[in-house]
Amino acid sequence: MSEHLLEVRDLAVSFDTYAGEVQAVRGISFYLDKGETLSIVGESGCGKSVSIQTIMKLLPSPPSRIKSGSILYRGEELVTKTDKEMESYRGKEFSMVFQDSMTSLNPTMRVGRQLCEGIIKHQKVSREKAKEIAIDMLRQVGLPNPEKTYMRYPHSLSGGMQQRVMIAIAIACNPQILFADEPTTALDVTMQAQILDLMNGLKKRLGTAIILITHDLGVVAQMADRISVMYAGKIVESGTADEIFYNPRHPYTWGLLGSMPSVEQSSRAAKSELLSIPGTPPDLFAPPKGCAFAARCNYCMGACLKEDAPEFKADDGHMVRCWLMDERAPKVTPPVGKYAAVTGSAPAQIPAKEEG
């Protein structure tokens, strides 16, 4: 049953705020195997970050609260673990790279000390040994002059260098799973590519599994083995990278893919227009009764407003939460994907699947 490295089942997380309960995550399930990269894609506020921060139990509680579900790491239940028990998992088994490296590093502490803290804690080594390891880590993430960087304060580093330091902190204790929360969003494009290369390299060398959170499908195409698309606190479609890019089945996924510019697209005069998804995501204070995407969907049916769609299976492992998959529904030709005239990123960029 639990041969997966990490398995999340039916996880629901809410925030109790002054104005009421915000249902940030409303029952999501996914799994991760050793050495693979799962990408969770969605607009900001859809619950991606909340999901993974809940796995590491980083969210203060209150206001956050796990309503239901289970998180199994190597068959062990994490939901019931106390904060104290989680300490030996954080940094050692799981670690995280945050979006904004500027605010994610302590501004008043030297880079080296921030790196050493985790190493001393988990590897039980002396200060001197930790320093050696730390400098080696800084070298591994490609920082020039690691000895000097060790003594610097975060504000004196560029955004790209800060993010490398964050990655060094994250991989310092050789974690099994690296959570990357929009690791490249705050960086400029050339820096983005470098950081992604770095992460891919580390993954290959260390065999670390990665959960990558992003709204940038270009990033996903470079990194992901499997993809889960999240909308308003639920996973609406999940499958392998190939399935999502070439055979997307959920109208929201179509919208996401359609809003991504591509070389082929712009070369076609007739189809040079980028699609956009009209409207905004629903209010999670009071999620709609039916499908959360219905209000913005071009293929909205009566059923969608009445009740949220169940999970339909498009293929082995390809899950879609949409009434269009019901046999009674009218057949629709997707505007994107393999049936459509245009495709997303070049297929060559999608890494071959490693799982068996």
State which of positions 98-137 bind other proteins (CB under 8 A): 98, 100, 103-109, 114, 117-118, 121-122
Using CB under 8 A as the binding criterion, the count of chain residues that bind other proteins stands at 73
Residues 142-181, one symbol each (x = binds other proteins by CB under 8 A, - = not), give: -----------x-xx---------x--xx--x--------
- Cβ atoms of residues 27 and 68 within 8 Å: yes
C-beta of 59: minimal distance to other proteins in Å?
A: 9
Asked if 15 touches other proteins (CB under 8 A), the answer is no
C-beta of 118: minimal distance to other proteins in Å?
A: 4
C-beta of 128: minimal distance to other proteins in Å?
A: 19
- CA-to-CA dists, residue 166 to 84, 181, 205, 242, 295, angstroms: 23, 12, 18, 30, 39
Asked if 352 touches other proteins (CB under 8 A), the answer is no
- Cβ atoms of residues 231 and 252 within 8 Å: yes
Positions in 28-87 near other proteins (CB under 8 A): 29-31, 33, 53, 56, 58, 60, 83-84, 87
C-beta of 266: minimal distance to other proteins in Å?
A: 28
Alpha helices in 33-82 (DSSP H): 48-55
Nearest one of 226, 225, 270, 234 to 252, comparing CA atoms: 234
> Which phi and psi angles does 300 have, rounded to 5°?
-70, 135
Positions in 198-257 near other proteins (CB under 8 A): 238
Asked if 95 touches other proteins (CB under 8 A), the answer is yes
CA atoms of 270 and 199, how far apart (whole Å): 38
Out of 328, 333, 348, 352, which residue is the one contacting other proteins (CB under 8 A)? 328
Q: Which letter does DSSP use for residue 35 in this model?
A: T
Out of 189, 190, 273, 330, which residue is the one contacting other proteins (CB under 8 A)? 330
**Residue 213 DSSP SS3:** strand
Out of 137, 141, 177, 294, which residue is the one contacting other proteins (CB under 8 A)? 294
The residues, ordered by sequence, that sit 6+ positions from 145 with a Cβ below 8 Å of its Cβ are: none
* Count of beta carbons in the 10 Å neighbourhood of residue 29: 17
C-beta of 67: minimal distance to other proteins in Å?
A: 16
